[in-house]
Amino acid sequence: SQQGEEDPQALSIQEGENATMNCSYKTSINNLQWYRQNSGRGLVHLILIRSNEREKHSGRLRVTLDTSKKSSSLLITASRAADTASYFCATDNTNAGKSTFGDGTTLTVKP
Amino acid sequence: DVKVTQSSRYLVKRTGEKVFLECVQDMDHENMFWYRQDPGLGLRLIYFSYDVKMKEKGDIPEGYSVSREKKERFSLILESASTNQTSMYLCASSRTASLYTQYFGPGTRLTVL
């Protein structure tokens, strides 16, 4: 079974609103990453958060990690139509660079 | 910028054919990965390689093999394609120094008839 599971599966918002996606995982991890995938394309790495970190920011992205709940959230503030994509969390519990990906959240931002 | 290229964006093959999917990266990355992506199943790791001529099985290696003769090139081989191998195939690479940041190619959508 997948290590990371995103929630919700799909999210539709208006431009300018904030979008929050959640990721839950089952076993302890060394780090967690978020990736983005535009339709029919490869994935692009967004941000990595280590197991000893609780929050990380990158531009309009804010990622939190709660290891006690085995969950992470990705917040995109002031969303734009160009943010429309699928977002995946990936976890690594091997320290070997072999990440396990979830099923993704499909975000639609309406102009 | 890191560039990962895949030999084809779209490929149509017949059942029983031998299929080669090629992946090339231009940043001297040590690690390379092959995934398949299916609706509702996310990305699943097929094989990965940490070095030339080295390979390790991922979560779903059955029906696939790989070859890494040169550092920049990682090939995925379907020895005898079957309809259940119709999927999107994604190649990725990473540096050992920043092990967890993977750079992906654009993907190959393979249809097996």
Give the tens place of pLDDT for each residue, A12-26: 999 999 999 999 998
Q: Which of residues 68-87 of A touch B (CB under 8 A)?
A: none
Q: Mean pLDDT in chain A?
A: 91
A57 confidence band (pLDDT: 50, 70, 90) = very high
Q: If you average pLDDT over residues A38-63, what whole number do you get?
A: 94
Amino acid A104: pLDDT: 92
| Closest residue to B107, CB basis, from A41, A92, A104 | A41
Residues A73 and B31: their CA atoms lie apart, in Å, by 28
B35 with A90: CB under 8 angstroms? Answer: no
Q: Does B49 touch chain A (CB under 8 A)?
A: no
Q: Is the pLDDT of residue A1 over 60?
A: no
**A65/chain B closest Cα distance in angstroms:** 17
Residues of chain B under the 70 pLDDT cut? 1-2, 97-99
Q: How much is the pLDDT for B8? A: 92
Residue A37 has pLDDT above 80, yes or no: yes
CA–CA distance, A64 with A62 (Å, rounded to integer):
7
Nearest CA distance, A88 vs chain B (angstrom): 9
Would you state the pLDDT for residue A7?
86
Instruction: Output the pLDDT for position B97.
Output: 66
| Residue A103 confidence (pLDDT) | 87
Could you give the CA distance from residue A88 to residue A99 in angstroms, rounded to a whole number?
11
Contact A76, A105 (CB under 8 A): no
pLDDT (0 to 100) of residue A96: 64
Give pLDDT, residue B100: 72
